[in-house]
């Protein structure tokens, strides 16, 4: 079935001469077609083609805050201070703040593809390109296996292994020359780090190997364990309404809070890492101070700060069993700064 305005290209291959005829099809009670009398020969073959162009998939990318231009970012924050429009609604002002920060991040923080994001930090650009070529050759080998392509894959595999090993040695020699124990132990921790979830997750009789199914199993388990089984009983207890007016955070105090934050703090749902706040601590403190003044005046916390990213942490026993995990809530860095001030 076709719509009223749809047009199809009809190619009629005639006995002696191919003729292209455009048909206008209209769907009413019956199908009527208007043809142009281009020839008096009868058609021996009729083919209808309706080309459909699918959009090319956009490769997923990530922000590389480790390679950001923080000098240019600090200069931009100084020359273009945060101009809030709404001073009466905490959620609106918080949204304006994130739009302002997103503009800064879009300008000064480069993007990385998923391929680069999943590689260790010691992999060089040359090795990364070799890995991409190897992936392409493997895909071609699966489509049409030939001895030439098989030899090319084997050659690239050897090159990738040798290049990655050389990159790792150079990176470790550089770390040892710095004599920075924090960076060295961070590297050793990343080398020995295991994935968050194993290949299989077992919950009762369920065994899942797909990521989205594992996430559903984790959500069901955490909800069943940490949600109250029955509503708690209520008592008539006199309580005072909590307020957010008994704190005062200046720009300098906020700057010290940001500088004292633990370097192992994970980013929250908004995706801004601690490195962004530490490298721009003096300028970003001025921006956050405006929002915290409105929070104190309105006695409300932005709704986005009440949302957390839940990560499963393995505590004991086998990593395949869901009951051996506990949830950890990751909050935004901004909410942690307010927490230190209160």
pTM equals 0.63
Write the burial class of residue 298 (CB in 10 Å: 0-12 exposed, 13-18 middle, 19+ buried): middle
Distances (CA, A) of 235 to 45, 212, 238, 314: 85, 42, 9, 37
Determine the pLDDT at residue 241. Answer: 53
Determine the pLDDT at residue 26. Answer: 39
Task: Please name the residues in contact with 281: beta carbons below 8 A apart, sequence gap of 6 or more.
Answer: 255, 258, 259
* Distance from C-alpha of 208 to C-alpha of 211, rounded to nearest angstrom: 8
Write the burial class of residue 93 (CB in 10 Å: 0-12 exposed, 13-18 middle, 19+ buried): buried
Determine the pLDDT at residue 153. Answer: 92
Determine the pLDDT at residue 306. Answer: 86
* Average pLDDT of adjacent 10-residue blocks, the chain of 342 residues: 42 39 40 48 61 60 82 92 86 91 91 73 88 90 89 92 92 86 78 73 83 84 73 53 63 83 80 88 88 84 86 86 88 83 69
For residue range 247-286, list pLDDT tens digits in order: 677 888 888 888 888 777 788 888 888 889 889 988 888 8
Query: End-to-end distance of the chain based on CA atoms, in angstroms?
Result: 66
Distances (CA, A) of 41 to 16, 34, 38, 278: 8, 17, 9, 80
Residue 14 main-chain phi, psi, to 5 deg? -85, 175
Determine the pLDDT at residue 108. Answer: 93
Give the strand order in the sheet containing 43-49.
19-24, 7-14, 43-49
CB 28 within 8 A of CB 18: no
Determine the pLDDT at residue 38. Answer: 52
Determine the pLDDT at residue 49. Answer: 65
């Amino acid at each position: 079935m076709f719509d009223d305005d749809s047009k199809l290209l009809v190619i009629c291959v005639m006995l002696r001469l191919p003729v292209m005829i455009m048909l206008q099809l209209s769907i009413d009670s019956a199908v009527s077609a208007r043809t142009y009398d281009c020839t008096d020969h009868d058609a021996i073959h009729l083919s209808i083609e309706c080309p459909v162009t699918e959009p090319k998939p956009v490769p997923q990318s990530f922000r590389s805050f480790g390679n950001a231009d923080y000098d240019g970012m600090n200069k931009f924050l100084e020359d273009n201070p945060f101009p809030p429009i709404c001073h009466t609604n905490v959620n609106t002002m918080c949204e304006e703040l994130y739009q302002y920060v997103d503009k800064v991040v879009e300008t000064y923080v480069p993007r990385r593809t998923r391929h680069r994001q999943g590689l260790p930090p010691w992999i060089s650009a040359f090795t990364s390109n070799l890995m991409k070529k190897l992936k392409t050759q493997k895909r071609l080998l699966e489509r049409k296996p030939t001895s030439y392509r098989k030899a090319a894959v084997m050659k690239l595999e050897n090159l990738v292994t040798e290049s990655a090993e050389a990159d790792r040695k150079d990176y470790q020699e550089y770390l040892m020359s710095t004599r920075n124990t924090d960076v060295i132990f961070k590297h050793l921790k990343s080398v020995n780090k295991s994935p968050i979830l194993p290949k299989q997750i077992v919950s009762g009789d369920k065994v899942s190997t797909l990521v989205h199914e594992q996430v559903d199993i984790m959500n069901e388990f955490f909800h069943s364990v940490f949600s109250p089984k029955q509503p708690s009983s209520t008592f008539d207890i006199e309580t005072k309404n909590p307020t957010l007016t008994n704190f005062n955070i200046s720009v300098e105090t906020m700057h010290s809070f940001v500088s004292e934050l633990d370097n192992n703090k994970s980013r929250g749902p908004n995706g801004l890492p601690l490195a962004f706040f530490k490298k721009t601590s003096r300028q970003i403190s001025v921006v956050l101070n405006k929002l915290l003044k409105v929070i104190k005046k309105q006695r409300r916390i932005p709704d986005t700060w009440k949302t957390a990213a839940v990560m499963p942490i393995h505590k004991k026993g086998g990593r395949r069993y869901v009951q051996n995990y506990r949830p950890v809530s990751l909050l935004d860095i901004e909410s942690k700064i307010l927490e230190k001030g209160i």
